[in-house]
Every structure is written in structure tokens, then in C-alpha cells.
């Protein structure tokens, strides 16, 4: 943290131009953020290799004589040229046309994968049109296997490439976007907190340029250097940045944002606007220009309708199958608990559920039978700042129970609550009924069913502060979707295997 005591104030430097460069090819090469060039090159190799591999698998799966088009035996060279060169090149062209290599969509979020799927649909449509136009006889099984296989292999390859990219960002702190935040100090610090919350995003603020004067920030602690009265583009070059983030009210200055965009043309520096819309997912925000004024429309959260009905159906079916398949594991855990500490196998505690209704949650017992009586003597050793009592080395937990907690196996009986409609597979964590008053923002968590897992669990679990856990729960309530639920379930697998924040 830095104390802001003085600033270097210089008169703004006039922009070099305020229009489009003479040639679209005359753009300056990006000085700092060059990670995307080798990354895109790797993606090109992955995509080409995946498409070629899918063609090879399709040919090997079906007899070559019947797997291609007419004339395969007479001219196999042309058949292999189409399969291993032209079709993979077609994939690259389609993906490029759908902007699947645009650096703005690489590394985070679902947009990259959506564009890959759209590219796959375009390839399938193109192949079908060409075959129809030229009256070429194709093996539907082979072509379908090649196209679907290529799509799946490309998606898997990009997923692994993203995994490596995230690993580089988390461990080495490289392959990111160096940002200069422009706005008032409180707005810039709020954006700083948001973009640094997830290292996988690769957004690294390196400086803050305040617009409300240096006196507003004198003596305050800041995580990055603060500047005032500087030309923004010159400051970006000085600190080695490649992205300017205009925060909050700074984006509302009449004409200033447009002139800044003019100044950045051809500089290789990205311009992003961070409006004061926190914890609202992208699908709920739509930009609709009215007479040149871009208006941001924020849709209401989806708390009812067909999507919610599908979520409830998925919960019941998955819970029923899970209880059926996990019965042998339940019996083994029950025997281990009875051997470790003679007492009930299950622990049932009142929790607050949907719309404030209370229910009893099912869990495997992990503490000694006198745990409740011993709690009063341990209250002063609570290691969390919220409603729940947590200790990393809780003496009330017996050895088998410690393993069950670390592996999250103690949560599996909550499938019973899911089957009964009291809980969901994904949702906010259920809190004890005798803790807190659920007033204010916290009460909004009760608009959906509590979940066995949730955004809080895949983001740190017990290592999170109470305020951060509530923020994540509220974010889920406002922005949930079936795709988001599936994403959280997938991330839960990795978190459980890593035993992160479980105690």
C-alpha cells in the first residue's frame, strides 16, 4: 500500500490525432500485452490439429472406401487433401470469421466457447451446401463423426490451453492486461478490488489517474501509484500499460470519452468502460443506443419460469440417481462413524430455506456427541467473522469426521434434502435457523433454495470472510442460470479434490 502525499502534475499533452489513422494497417504494435500473439498461434495449431485428428478418427472408424465421396479409390490423394488440409483450414477460417481468436474473448468467460460452437455450425452448413451444390456423394456417418469430433476436440484443446494460461497468470503473474484506472479515487479503488478478485482474468491495474484532484486523495493508502493532471496516453506508455479503464462517473463527462477513444486510435491501447454496475452478470445487461446515447438496460433476475422448472427437475433426478448409486458408500461411511464414536450416524440441524421456511439438513456426523455442550468454551476461538463458527483445528471433530469434512463427503446426505425439494444442487449455503436475523441484503438469499454447493464453495469456502460470502451468494441469486449451475458443479469437483477451504 502507498500513501498518497504528492503528485507530479503536468499540463496535458495534446493528442497526436483525433481521427482514424490513414491506413488500417498502420496501427502501432502493442508494446506490453504480447501474450496473445503466441497464445493465438498455439490455438491455431490446436484447432488445425484437432480438425485433422477428427478426420483421421472418422476414416479409421469407417471403411475408407465408403467413408469419403465418390471416386475415393480412384483418387485417394484428393480425398486426403480435403480431409487433412482443406477441411481443417475451413475450420480455421470459420473460427476466425466468428472472432474465436479475438484476444478480448480469450482466457475468461464462455464467449470463446460460444464462438467455437458457432464456427462449428458454420462449417457443417458450408460442407452441406457444397455437397448439395456439387451433388457429391458423402458418407453421412463419416462426415458427422469428423465434424462433431473436431468440435469436441477443439473445445477440449482450448479448455486445456485456458487452464495453462490461468496457471501462468496465477503463479507467474504474466500474460495479463496492464490497466490504468481513470476516475475518482473511490471509483478506481472499487474497480481495482473487482478486477483483482480473480487472478485468472489477467487484469492487472498498475496505476490510477484521478479526475477529482490530488487533494481528494492526499494521505490515503493506495495499492498502486496515483497520478493527477497527466496526459492519460503518455501515462500509459510510462507505466507500461496496454489498457485504459474509465471508471464510473468519468465515463459520463460529455465528449471526453469520445475524445479519449480518438486519441487511442492506432496506439494499440484498449479502452474499456467500467460503469457503476457491480455484481451484475453480462447476460442481464444490454446496450441499446438511442439517438447516439448508449443506454444500459438491466433485466430483472430470473426467479421463476421454465428455467427454474428445469432446474428443479434436474435437482430431483440427479438427487434420486445419486442416492441410489452412493448407497454402498453411505454404508461404509456409516460403519466408520460408528466405529470412531458411538452415536448417531447423521447430524440434523435446523436451517433456513426458501422464503424463510425452516427445514432440517442431513449431514454425516463429524463431531463427538457432546460437541454442542463444548461449544461454549470455544466461542472465543472462532476463526470467522460471520454467523458460522469455524475452527481449522476444532477439537470436537473426531479423526474420521475430519477426513469427511476435508473431502466434503459429510455433505452427501443433503441429497435427501434436494430430493424433498428443500435444497438444490447449487445455491446459497444454508445458514442455521438460530443465527442472525436475515435482515437487509442477507435476506435476499432466501429467494432461492439453498444449495449443496455454490459460488461461495468454489471461491474459497471457509477461507472467505462473511461479507465476501454474502456478496457471492447475492451475486448467484441475481444472476443464476442453468449454464452457470453446471459451471459451478464442474468447478466444485476441482475444489473438492484440492480440499480448498474445507475444515
Dig out the grid coordinates for 266 from the structure: 492506432
Ramachandran sector of residue 300 (left: φ over 0; alpha: ψ -120 to 50; beta: rest): beta
Dig out the grid coordinates for 18 from the structure: 483525433
CA angle centred on 242, ends 203 and 116, rounded to 5° = 65
Q: What is the pLDDT of residue 1?
A: 54
Q: What is the DSSP letter of 293?
A: E
Closest by CA to 187, choosing from 212, 220, 215, is 212
Per the CB < 8 A criterion, the answer to whether 469 and 456 are in contact is yes
Q: What is the pLDDT of residue 32?
A: 46
CA angle centred on 33, ends 28 and 37, rounded to 5° = 85
| 384, 387, 390, 396 alpha-carbon torsion, rounded to 10° | 150
Mean pLDDT of 376-392: 64
Residue the block writes with cell 441499446: 288
Give the residue range(s) of CATH 3.40.50.720 domains in the chain: 2-20+176-276
Q: What residues contact residue 145 under an 8 Å CB cut-off, 6+ apart?
A: 54, 57, 58, 61, 62
| DSSP SS3 for 192 | helix
Per the CB < 8 A criterion, the answer to whether 388 and 349 are in contact is no
pLDDT at residue 497 is higher than 90: no
Mean pLDDT of 107-127: 91
Per the CB < 8 A criterion, the answer to whether 406 and 499 are in contact is yes
pLDDT bracket for residue 15 (50, 70, 90):
very low
User: Which range has the top average pLDDT, 122-126, 180-184, 394-398?
Assistant: 122-126
Q: What is the pLDDT of residue 254?
A: 61
425 by Cβ neighbours in 10 Å (0-12 / 13-18 / 19+) ranks as: buried
pLDDT at residue 227 is higher than 80: yes
The rounded mean pLDDT for the chain is: 81
- How do 293-298 and 285-290 pair as beta strands? antiparallel
Mean pLDDT of 394-413: 86
Per the CB < 8 A criterion, the answer to whether 434 and 425 are in contact is no
Specify the higher pLDDT residue, 188 or 288: 188
Dig out the grid coordinates for 486 from the structure: 453446471
CB atoms within 10 A of CB 79: 18
Distances (CA, A) of 279 to 204, 449, 473: 19, 20, 11
Dihedral pair phi/psi, residue 270, rounded to 5°: -80, 150
Per the CB < 8 A criterion, the answer to whether 481 and 302 are in contact is yes
pLDDT at residue 455 is higher than 80: yes
Dig out the grid coordinates for 132 from the structure: 448439395
Q: Lowest mean pLDDT: which of 43-47, 224-228, 323-327? A: 224-228
pLDDT at residue 22 is higher than 70: no
What are the tens digits of pLDDT across the range 97-106? 999 998 888 8
Q: What is the DSSP letter of 11?
A: P
Distances (CA, A) of 231 to 177, 237, 356: 20, 10, 54
Dihedral pair phi/psi, residue 365, rounded to 5°: -70, 130
- Select from 3.40.50.720, 3.30.70.1450, 3.90.1150.10, 3.90.480.10 the CATH code of 2-20+176-276: 3.40.50.720
Specify the higher pLDDT residue, 48 or 131: 48
Percent of the chain at pLDDT > 70 equals 80
CB atoms within 10 A of CB 459: 21
96 by Cβ neighbours in 10 Å (0-12 / 13-18 / 19+) ranks as: middle
Specify the higher pLDDT residue, 49 or 233: 49
Residue the block writes with cell 442431513: 362
Amino acid at each position: 500500500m502507498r500513501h498518497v502525499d504528492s503528485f507530479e502534475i503536468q499540463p496535458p499533452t495534446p493528442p497526436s490525432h483525433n481521427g482514424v489513422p490513414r491506413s488500417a494497417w498502420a496501427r502501432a504494435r502493442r508494446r506490453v500485452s504480447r501474450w496473445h500473439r503466441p497464445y493465438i498461434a498455439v490455438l491455431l495449431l490446436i484447432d488445425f490439429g484437432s480438425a485433422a485428428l477428427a478426420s483421421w478418427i472418422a476414416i479409421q472408424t469407417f471403411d475408407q472406401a465408403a467413408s469419403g465421396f465418390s471416386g475415393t479409390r480412384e483418387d485417394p490423394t484428393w480425398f486426403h487433401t480435403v480431409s487433412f488440409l482443406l477441411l481443417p483450414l475451413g475450420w480455421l477460417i470459420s473460427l476466425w470469421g466468428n472472432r474465436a481468436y479475438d484476444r478480448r474473448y480469450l482466457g475468461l468467460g464462455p464467449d470463446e466457447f460460444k464462438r467455437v460452437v458457432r464456427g462449428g455450425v458454420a462449417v457443417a452448413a458450408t460442407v452441406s451446401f457444397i455437397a448439395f451444390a456439387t451433388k457429391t456423394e458423402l458418407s453421412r456417418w463419416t462426415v458427422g463423426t469428423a465434424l462433431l469430433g473436431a468440435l469436441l476436440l477443439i473445445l477440449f484443446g482450448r479448455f486445456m490451453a485456458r487452464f495453462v494460461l490461468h496457471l501462468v497468470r496465477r503463479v507467474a503473474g504474466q500474460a495479463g492486461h496492464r490497466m490504468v484506472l481513470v476516475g475518482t479515487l473511490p471509483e478506481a479503488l472499487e474497480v481495482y478490488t473487482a478486477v483483482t478478485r480473480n487472478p485468472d482474468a489477467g487484469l492487472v491495474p498498475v496505476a490510477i489517474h484521478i479526475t477529482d484532484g490530488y487533494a481528494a486523495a492526499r494521505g490515503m493508502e493506495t495499492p498502486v501509484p496515483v497520478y493527477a493532471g497527466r496526459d492519460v496516453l503518455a501515462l500509459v506508455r510510462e507505466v507500461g500499460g496496454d489498457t485504459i479503464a474509465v471508471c464510473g462517473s468519468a465515463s459520463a463527462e460529455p465528449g471526453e470519452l469520445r475524445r479519449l477513444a480518438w486519441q487511442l486510435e492506432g496506439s494499440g491501447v484498449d479502452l474499456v468502460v467500467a460503469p457503476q454496475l457491480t455484481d451484475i452478470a453480462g447476460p442481464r445487461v444490454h446496450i441499446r443506443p438511442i439517438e447516439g446515447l448508449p443506454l444500459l438496460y438491466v433485466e430483472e433476475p430470473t426467479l421463476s419460469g421454465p428455467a427454474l422448472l428445469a432446474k428443479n427437475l434436474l435437482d430431483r433426478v440427479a438427487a434420486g440417481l445419486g442416492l441410489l448409486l452412493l448407497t454402498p458408500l453411505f454404508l461404509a461411511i456409516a460403519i466408520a462413524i460408528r466405529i470412531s464414536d458411538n452415536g448417531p450416524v447423521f447430524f440434523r440441524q435446523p436451517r433456513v430455506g426458501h422464503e424463510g421456511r425452516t427445514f432440517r439438513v442431513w449431514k454425516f456426523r463429524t463431531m463427538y456427541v457432546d460437541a454442542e455442550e463444548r461449544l461454549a468454551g470455544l466461542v472465543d476461538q472462532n476463526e470467522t467473522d460471520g454467523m458460522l463458527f469455524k475452527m481449522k483445528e476444532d477439537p470436537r471433530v473426531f479423526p474420521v469426521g475430519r477426513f469427511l469434512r476435508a473431502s466434503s463427503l459429510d455433505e452427501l446426505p443433503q441429497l435427501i434434502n434436494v430430493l424433498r425439494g428443500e435444497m438444490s444442487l447449487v445455491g446459497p449455503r444454508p445458514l442455521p435457523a438460530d443465527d442472525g436475523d436475515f435482515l437487509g441484503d442477507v435476506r435476499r438469499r432466501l429467494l432461492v433454495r439453498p444449495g449443496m454447493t455454490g459460488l461461495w464453495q468454489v471461491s474459497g469456502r471457509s477461507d472467505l470472510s462473511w461479507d465476501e460470502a454474502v456478496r457471492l451468494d447475492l451475486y448467484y441469486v441475481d444472476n443464476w442460470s442453468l449454464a452457470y449451475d453446471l459451471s459451478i458443479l464442474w468447478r466444485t469437483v476441482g475444489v473438492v479434490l484440492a480440499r480448498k477451504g474445507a475444515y
